Structure formats: C-alpha cells, structure tokens
Amino acid sequence: MDPETLFRSLGGGDAGGFPHIHSPVHTTPAGTPYLRHPGVAMIARPDVGLEGLRGFLEGFDPSLGFLGYLDDDTELTPAARLCKTAGQTCYASFGPRRTRNADAQRYFDNLSSSGHGSVYEHATFSFLCYGISRSNTHEVIRHRAGTAFSQLSQRFVSGKVLRFVERPEYRDVPSLHKRFEERIDSLAREYAEVTEELAALQRDGYAPLAAQQRTDVRKRVQQTARSVLPNETETVLVLTANVRAWRHMIEMRTDPHAESEIRDLYLRIFLCLRRAEPLLFGDYRVESFPDGTYGAVTDWRKV
C-alpha cells in the first residue's frame, strides 16, 4: 500500500511539517478511559543553516569553486541537507562536480545500499507517543544506540491521568473486550482505594511511608500503589532518535515477528517520518501481512 494513503486512512495530519497520527480515547460504561491504538506526534526535527559554512568555504583556493556549494536551487528538507552535507564533508565534495541536491535521492541510495549509515546519525527526530502500554515501552526502551527516552513517572503522577490500553487481540472479540473493560474498571478502583488507604496510613505516621521531603509525600504513596497496575496501563514517552536508529527500530519493530502493539507504534512513527523525510525513508515499502497488519520493508536493512 502507498504509505501516504495508509497515513491518511489512519487519520494522519500535519501541523506545519510535523506529522501526527492521533488516537481517540474511549471510556468504559463506568468511565475508565482507555485507548486502542498508539498516538504519535512528531514534536522536533532538525533546523539547518548552511550559510554558516561560507567563512569555511572561502578559505580554500577560489579555483576549486567551493563557494558554489551554497548555490543550489533545489530545496531539501533540513534533515536531508544536514546528512548530505555531513557526507560530502568526508570527501570535501564542495566543488562543481559534487552531487547536487537534485540528485540527492541517488546520493542517499548509494549511502544506504553500501551501508554507510553513520551520516544518518546527524539528524534527529522526536516523537511524543501515547496510547502505549507499559509492556510495549518495556521493549521500546531496549534500544540504546542513538536514542533518548523520557517516560511518564508512575511514582510522581497521580491516578488522575490513569488510562489503559486495549490489546489489538481483544478489540474485536466481545467476550475479551468485556473482560478488558471490567478488569480496568476494577483495577482503577483498586488503585484509587489502595492509594487512599496508603495516604491515610502516611498521615498517621506509618514509618515505611514517611517522607523526608515534601516532594516525596505523593511518591511514597504512588510508588507503592502502582504495584496493582497491570502491563496494559498506558504510559507516555518522548522518544528521540537519529535517522539511523529510527531506521533500525522501524525494521526490527514492524517486522511480522515483532509484538503486535509495538508494530502498530512503529508503523505510525514510520508513516510520519516517511511523510516528513521522503529522501531518508523513501526506500521503505509498506507490505501487508495475512493478519491484516502492515510493516515497512527495505532492501537496505541496518544501514
């Protein structure tokens, strides 16, 4: 399937070059909120000012024509410009025989097909991800190289933002869906009751919950009460990664062997990245699998 069509069919939108695919919030009849899909929103992408190179380029013999590097009528996205300039710096490819922006696709195809992915590490993109479960993020945060994570704290944040995530396998099976809704109602109630009981004990001076500092008061209670929360509790992540790391994660995590919820997350991230950066993610094809899901596949894995 065409990635842009899939992006649109999932409700994708674009806030001035920052794509997003949001996820609606549902509630049980008793009012417990939950989500059925990950929501992803790109919140940061590179900003590049190559004019700063002028003083550097002027320092070479004018006959090399390096200053012409700054005259290129073809606009690239900042991330593509950054990666291309980083790569061309390696060979001092600033003169008239360099690959011009109009041929950037060929330039990146050469890099990817030969596995020279290090220049992709210069460009980073950040996403806010929600509607994802704690079991999902337990896997997401296993990625290390080129990544940064900030995750909602179950110690600091109270039950007011407590939401849950329904697994894809439950959604269309009425009995499992009913069990899910009943379970999260009961867990939300249990969490509230345990929190209340712990807070009362703390007020009465119960030593294991005693807080030395004001900021520790709630934490002492909530770090204990969270023990009743299940894997299907929602969490929120800001996930930053460079293009090389994004490519690796997308390949591993949209693969049909990966876990279904994480595949949904990375497919959505991929669709946003593909939309924002066709030169850096355009080699991926969207393939549909027999279970009705999609994955991103490229001939140049792990550049």
Residues written for the chain: 303
> 98, 220, 226, 253: which is the annotated catalytic residue?
253
76 vs 245, beta carbon nearer ligand FAD: 245
Closest approach of ligand FAD to the CB of residue 130, in Å = 22
50 binds ligand FAD (CB under 6 A): no
Closest approach of ligand FAD to the CB of residue 258, in Å = 4
Closest approach of ligand FAD to the CB of residue 214, in Å = 37
101 vs 126, beta carbon nearer ligand FAD: 126
Residue 189 CA to chain centroid, in angstroms?
31
143 binds ligand FAD (CB under 6 A): yes
Q: Which stretch binds ligand FAD (CB under 6 A): 35-43, 60-68, 97-105, 251-259?
A: 251-259
* Catalytic residue status for 179: no
43 vs 258, beta carbon nearer ligand FAD: 258
Mark residues 83-122: x for contact with ligand FAD by CB under 6 A, - for none: ----------------------------------------
248 binds ligand FAD (CB under 6 A): yes
* From candidates 51, 62, 73, 144, binder to ligand FAD by CB under 6 A: 144
144 vs 214, beta carbon nearer ligand FAD: 144
214 binds ligand FAD (CB under 6 A): no
Closest approach of ligand FAD to the CB of residue 242, in Å = 11
Closest approach of ligand FAD to the CB of residue 111, in Å = 17
Residue positions annotated with a catalytic role? 253
